[in-house]
Amino acid sequence: MLEKALNGGKLYWTWIGFLLAVFGVGFLFYLQQWNVGLGITGMSRDVSWGFYISQFTFLVGIAASGVMVVLPFYLHDYKAFGRITILGEFLAIPAVIMCVTFIVVDLGQPYRAMNVIFHPSPSSILFYDTIVLNGYLLLNLLVGWTCLHAEKKSIAPPKWVKPFIILSIIWAPSIHTVTAFIYAGIPGKHFWLTAVMAARFLASAFASGPALLLILALIVRKFSKFDPGSEAIQTLGKIVTYCMILNVFLLGLELFTAFYSGIPGHMHAWEYLYAGIDGKGVLVPLMWLSAILAAVSISMLVFPQVRKNETLLAIACVCVFFSLWIDKGFGLVVGGFVPNSFEQVTEYWPTLAEFSIAMGVWALGFLILTVLYKVAVSIKEESGGEAIH
């Protein structure tokens, strides 16, 4: 089926070329990082995780969100999603690959990455994250490919796929919960030490993932003969709306606990992110942009009339996506490290090299996404588009 990715028009090949170019630039910078070390990034002794890990954290959410279309179709027979389950699964695959790539790119000694397998450490959350991420990747590859193949032949998928699909539905929240546990169990970082961390992760995942999926569905409809269906798109819009509201609500819960309790350790990170401390506040404009985008998107999405207008819906989803990308990308990870264990402020901003490497990984992910979508959409164009249960 992969040969379908080799048929494309000028626009398709220009896009692929662009992605390869961005990947190439990122790869060259990665060679520099390989030679010089992580010192070419903006990370420091105080802010020891930065852009790479934050992208990994955000993308775990996108990966998990595939379950948002798979669950209603397979467990509750919501037929409208039948057309796009493959789009959800084929979004999860590059997302997980990007997650793993971001982790490898972030390692100081990538040669030794296999030590996590050779020396299993059941007390470490990263151990479990390795298992659940790779397992989820395998599940999505297996299920997606098998179901697509069946659709190509216009038959129902084989019966043995069903238990794997159910497993993937249970597995999806686990990759997210485990990733949240990386942060939520660290005693020294008060910003992260909150019971709602996993809940916040799930809410933001199920807002940002379907938002991206909705935009991708609109793109697919525009550039191919396959129409994912207005009902599917509208339902995705409703999911984004509710989950974004939930996400902002949970953020409000955090702010209440921090500021009503008045405990300095709980308040300081929020102060740094949204106001700056001692004149240091490089992230302040970015965090307020995230807040504004969230407010704008929610005030658009709550109105069904706005959602029915697919242009406005797309704009709102872009706002959701970038709002959450900033919040999880910069806010969550960097906020945990500022102020440091000595209550001092060391700021963080990614360097050009770091940003280029990160964009290279995104380009790799979009490359895989484009190829997979091209295959899926080509087959759906031929077969009529309905997945058979």
Partner 1 sequence: MKIERREFLKLAGLSAIFGLGGTAIASSVQQTPSYIPDPKELTGKRWALVINMDKFKTDADVKRVIDVCHTKHNVPNIPNPKQEVKWIFTEMMENVFPEQQDKYLTEHYKHMPFLTLCNHCANPPCVRVCPTQATFKRKSDGIVMMDMHRCIGCRFCMAGCPYGARSLNWIDPRPYLDPKKINPEFPTRMKGVVEKCTLCYELIAVGKIPACAEASNGAIVFGDLEDPKSEVRKVLAETYTIRRKPELGTRPSVYYVIGGMKDAGKGA
Residue 245 burial (CB count, 10 A):
16
Distance, in Å, from the CA atom of 267 to the CA atom of 277, rounded to the nearest integer, reads 11
Q: Which residue's CB is nearer to partner 1, number 53 or number 319?
A: 53
Kindly state the smallest distance separating residue 359's Cβ from partner 1, in Å.
Answer: 21
| Sequence-separated (6 or more) residues with CB below 8 Å from residue 145 | 1
Q: Which residue's CB is nearer to partner 1, number 340 or number 370?
A: 340
Can you spell out the DSSP letters for 118-175?
A: HS--TT-HHHHHHHHHHHHHHHHHHHHHHHHHHHHTTSPPPTTHHHHHHHHHHHHHHH
Q: Do the Cβ atoms of 201 and 179 come closer than 8 Å?
A: yes
Closest CA to 52 of 30, 74, 35: 30
Residue carrying the six token digits 């797309």: 314
Kindly state the smallest distance separating residue 124's Cβ from partner 1, in Å.
Answer: 4
Going by the DSSP 8-state scheme, the letter that residue 386 receives in this structure is P
Kindly state the smallest distance separating residue 281's Cβ from partner 1, in Å.
Answer: 18
Kindly state the smallest distance separating residue 268's Cβ from partner 1, in Å.
Answer: 10
Residue 285 burial (CB count, 10 A):
9
Q: Which residue's CB is nearer to partner 1, number 182 or number 361?
A: 182
Q: Which residue's CB is nearer to partner 1, number 115 or number 261?
A: 115
Distance, in Å, from the CA atom of 209 to the CA atom of 76, rounded to the nearest integer, reads 20
Kindly state the smallest distance separating residue 220's Cβ from partner 1, in Å.
Answer: 37
Q: Which residue's CB is nearer to partner 1, number 107 or number 292?
A: 107
Q: Which residue's CB is nearer to partner 1, number 244 or number 332?
A: 332
Kindly state the smallest distance separating residue 33's Cβ from partner 1, in Å.
Answer: 10
Going by the DSSP 8-state scheme, the letter that residue 277 receives in this structure is B
Kindly state the smallest distance separating residue 101's Cβ from partner 1, in Å.
Answer: 14
Distance, in Å, from the CA atom of 224 to the CA atom of 11, rounded to the nearest integer, reads 12
Kindly state the smallest distance separating residue 127's Cβ from partner 1, in Å.
Answer: 5
386: Cα separation from own chain's centroid? 27
Q: Which residue's CB is nearer to partner 1, number 227 or number 271?
A: 271
Q: Which tokens sit at 281?
A: 């506040």
What are the residues binding partner 1 (CB under 8 A)?
36-39, 43-46, 48-49, 103, 106-110, 112-113, 115-116, 118-119, 121, 123-127, 130, 182, 186-189, 264-265, 336-337, 340-344, 346
Indicate the burial class of 76 (C-beta count within 10 angstroms; 0-12, 13-18, 19 or more): exposed
Secondary structure of residue 280 in the 3-state scheme: strand
Closest CA to 269 of 346, 200, 336: 336
Kindly state the smallest distance separating residue 347's Cβ from partner 1, in Å.
Answer: 9
Q: Which residue's CB is nearer to partner 1, number 78 or number 349?
A: 349
Q: Which residue's CB is nearer to partner 1, number 134 or number 224?
A: 134
Distinct helix (H) and strand (E) counts, the chain: 15, 0
